[in-house]
């Protein structure tokens, strides 16, 4: 095949090669899918009824990330956040207890809403108890911590090739350590994500990320960022990410952040 003449039929052939060896899900499950649709429909009806009730009561509860802070952003370098943004939830309170003293005020937020004013993308599977995003308000600035569980029945590629993924996302630095139990901790600094970081209307502060690749499969990821300014910002950047690297490492080792099936 000529280098400069990859034409549609050949492209299709190449794409087909990417599918080779991929196990297609077995048939069935259609009833489960329709059942899921029915659940979604009944949940929507319930939510609608709830909203109507709340409006009647005159006390509509807004979602995480809607509270205070407004457009935020820096102005003459002076802190503007006087009230921590986000929702004071039981989960946020419990999560705060896992963090070292002095990290800041922890509130739960929806990053989808914060960044794009969109409703949260529903997760289809189970997640850990602390899965979610948290705004960290400290010294008038707002940073974020995110906790994410990914399930997999077997180790993901990063477990065997940390910091060495052929398709790895761009990050300034990456290092890793193998734990005695076989898990791998991968540290990235100043991660940049196409979807997030290339929005020039937002400017991100320092970004730390630890990914714990579990030997038994799946991952735990904790992101730790000094926040962002610009469009939809909730406030000025923190001087540094909420957690230091060693604090972040310690948090990633906390089994409470894992799903039960991951422990």
3-state secondary structure labels for all residues of 47-96: HHHHHHHHHHHCCCCCCCCCCCCCCCCCECCECCCCCCCCECCHHHHHHH
Binding of residue 244 to other proteins (CB under 8 A) = no
In this chain, which of 95, 134, 159, 204 binds other proteins, going by CB under 8 A?
Answer: 159
- What values do phi and psi take at 106, rounded to 5? -105, 125
Binding of residue 225 to other proteins (CB under 8 A) = no
In this chain, which of 166, 246, 255, 260 binds other proteins, going by CB under 8 A?
Answer: 166
Binding of residue 255 to other proteins (CB under 8 A) = no
Binding of residue 197 to other proteins (CB under 8 A) = no
Residue number, 124 or 246, with CB nearest to other proteins: 124
CA distance 168 to 193: 10
Structure token pair of residue 62: 């807004």
CB 203 within 8 A of CB 215: no
Instruction: Indicate the length of the chain as a whole number.
Output: 263
Minimum distance, C-beta of residue 164 to other proteins, in the bound complex (Å) = 11
CA distance 105 to 199: 27
Give me the residues that bind other proteins (CB under 8 A), please.
1, 3-4, 6, 8, 10-12, 14-15, 17-25, 27, 30, 33-34, 36-37, 40-41, 111-112, 115-116, 118, 121, 124-125, 133, 146, 148, 150-152, 154-160, 165-169, 193-196, 211, 219, 221
């Amino acid at each position: 095949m000529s280098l400069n003449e990859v034409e549609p039929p050949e492209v299709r052939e190449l794409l087909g090669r990417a599918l080779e060896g991929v196990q297609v899900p077995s048939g069935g499950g259609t009833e489960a899918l329709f059942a899921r649709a029915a659940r979604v429909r009944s949940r929507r009806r319930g939510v609608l009824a709830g909203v109507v009730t709340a409006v009647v009561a005159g006390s509509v509860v807004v979602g995480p990330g809607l509270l205070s802070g407004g457009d935020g952003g820096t102005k003459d370098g002076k802190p503007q956040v006087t009230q921590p943004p986000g929702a004071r939830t039981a989960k946020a309170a419990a999560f705060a207890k896992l963090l070292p003293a002095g990290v800041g005020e922890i509130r739960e937020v929806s990053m989808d809403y914060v960044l794009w004013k969109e409703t949260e993308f529903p997760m289809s599977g189970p997640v850990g108890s602390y899965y979610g995003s948290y705004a960290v308000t400290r010294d008038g600035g707002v940073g974020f911590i995110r906790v994410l569980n990914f399930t997999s029945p077997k180790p993901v590629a990063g477990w065997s090739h940390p910091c060495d993924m052929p398709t790895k996302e761009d990050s300034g630095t990456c290092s890793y350590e193998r734990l005695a139990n076989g898990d791998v901790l991968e540290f990235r600094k100043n991660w940049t994500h196409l979807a997030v970081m290339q929005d020039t209307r937002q400017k991100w502060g320092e970004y730390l990320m630890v990914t714990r690749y579990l030997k038994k499969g799946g991952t735990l990821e904790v992101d730790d960022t000094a926040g962002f300014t610009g469009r939809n910002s909730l406030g000025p950047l923190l001087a540094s990410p909420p957690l230091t690297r060693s604090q972040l490492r310690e948090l990633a080792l906390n089994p409470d952040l894992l799903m039960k099936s991951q422990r």
